[in-house]
Chain A
């Protein structure tokens, strides 16, 4: 199978940058949300539509990012 419609964009989630990469494989949409710097995966979702995959990936990313503490330096 060939992946189609690959795209990625950066989204701000509560002050953190999140990279959303999506593509279609067969009849499913695959989305990965990562934390841009360093680029570690926060969520990987497979869904029937791009919108659903990205919405769910962002929700999971938001949940994980809310646990990150910022400290005074």
Chain B
């Protein structure tokens, strides 16, 4: 693993997982966009969380309430000191979403398997097709109060947009950014207006990844984000459509690049693009000097 990432300890490679997946203090969890992928085959010993039922409040649009999060951890056999390794499809989109929530609730040791599900399969590693049954923890899991310094809410985003106090990073595809399409190709439209938050920089999430699904090197990432005016010292807010792609970029900026003050605006375009009176900019991305 690259030692030049700001926090290399949050990444493990597939070989590490193959060697440690069944260690007593390690819990491997698969979190996919396609929630049926786990059943097709998964890392031996891994359990699965469904992002759309287990990692969000299913009544109010929100992340998991604290008590529900604690229950999920306990039922998953995860203690406060467990090393949790998350991985999934789409280069770890929802694995990053899960890690973001775990960090909000103060879990100390949560990591991402670099390359995710795709790399594991491409390497021809063992897949298990029978679901793993987790033994619930003997000791109930205790979360901290939510750390909302990792999350941006609408009022903060509106204030930052007006005052230019943070760099806004739109990580959706260029066509979503420009307003040409309202949702990713083939998926239902979930907003009334297309375009982006005025002043936002366009850095599609996938630019942070190599073809094999692993993250680009620290130098490549610094160059990528630096070209868009994103630096370690300036506050940054990442957003996408519903907050999962932006949690991926949040992870990259926070732990690999080392941006201290970066938040994930999970309200994202489904909130901003439906908001009465919110300013919207259309058109393709411009270079930094012409923002």
Which residues in A have some Cβ–Cβ distance to B below 8 Å? 1-4, 6, 16, 21, 23, 25, 30, 32, 34-35, 37-42, 44, 46, 61, 64-65, 67-71, 73
Please report which residues of chain B, range 270-286, place their CB below 8 angstroms from some CB of chain A when the two chains form the complex. Answer: 282-284
Question: Which of A1, A30, A42, A73 has the most B CB atoms < 10 Å from its CB?
Answer: A73
Task: Tell me whether A1 and B180 are in contact in the complex, defined as CB-CB below 8 angstroms, given that A39-B90, A40-B90, A65-B185 are known contacts.
Answer: no
Chain B 175-192 interface 0/1 with A at a Cβ cutoff of 8 Å (1 = within): 100111111111101000
Could you tell me if A1 and B126 are in contact, using CB atoms closer than 8 angstroms?
yes
B23 within 8 A of A: no
- Name the one of B122, B125, B178, B186 contacting A64, with C-beta atoms under 8 angstroms: B186
**Residues on the A chain within 8 Å of B263, using CB:** none
Could you tell me if A1 and B36 are in contact, using CB atoms closer than 8 angstroms?
no
Which residues in B have some Cβ–Cβ distance to A below 8 Å? 33-34, 36-37, 40-41, 89-91, 93, 118, 121-122, 124-129, 172-175, 178-187, 189, 194-195, 204-206, 240, 245, 282-284
Could you tell me if B185 and A3 are in contact, using CB atoms closer than 8 angstroms?
no
Task: Tell me whether A37 and B180 are in contact in the complex, defined as CB-CB below 8 angstroms, given that A6-B121, A6-B124 are known contacts.
Answer: no
Could you tell me if B34 and A41 are in contact, using CB atoms closer than 8 angstroms?
yes
- Name the one of A16, A32, A44, A71 contacting B185, with C-beta atoms under 8 angstroms: A16
**Residues on the B chain within 8 Å of A73, using CB:** 178-180, 194-195, 282-284
Could you tell me if A39 and B91 are in contact, using CB atoms closer than 8 angstroms?
yes
In the A-B complex, the 6 residue pairs with the smallest Cβ-Cβ separation, listed nearest first, are A64-B186, A37-B173, A41-B34, A35-B185, A6-B122, A39-B90
**Residues on the A chain within 8 Å of B127, using CB:** 1-3, 25
Could you tell me if B33 and A41 are in contact, using CB atoms closer than 8 angstroms?
yes
**Interchain nearest-CB distance for A29 vs B (Å):** 12
- Name the one of A23, A46, A61 contacting B186, with C-beta atoms under 8 angstroms: A61
Could you tell me if B204 and A37 are in contact, using CB atoms closer than 8 angstroms?
yes
Task: Tell me whether A71 and B181 are in contact in the complex, defined as CB-CB below 8 angstroms, given that A2-B124, A6-B122, A40-B90 are known contacts.
Answer: yes
Bound: A16/B185 CA distance, A: 8
Nearest B-chain residue to A42, judged by Cβ: B186
Nearest B-chain residue to A61, judged by Cβ: B186
Task: Tell me whether A38 and B205 are in contact in the complex, defined as CB-CB below 8 angstroms, given that A1-B129, A73-B282 are known contacts.
Answer: yes
Could you tell me if B125 and A2 are in contact, using CB atoms closer than 8 angstroms?
yes
Bound: A52/B51 CA distance, A: 30
**Residues on the A chain within 8 Å of B121, using CB:** 3, 6, 23
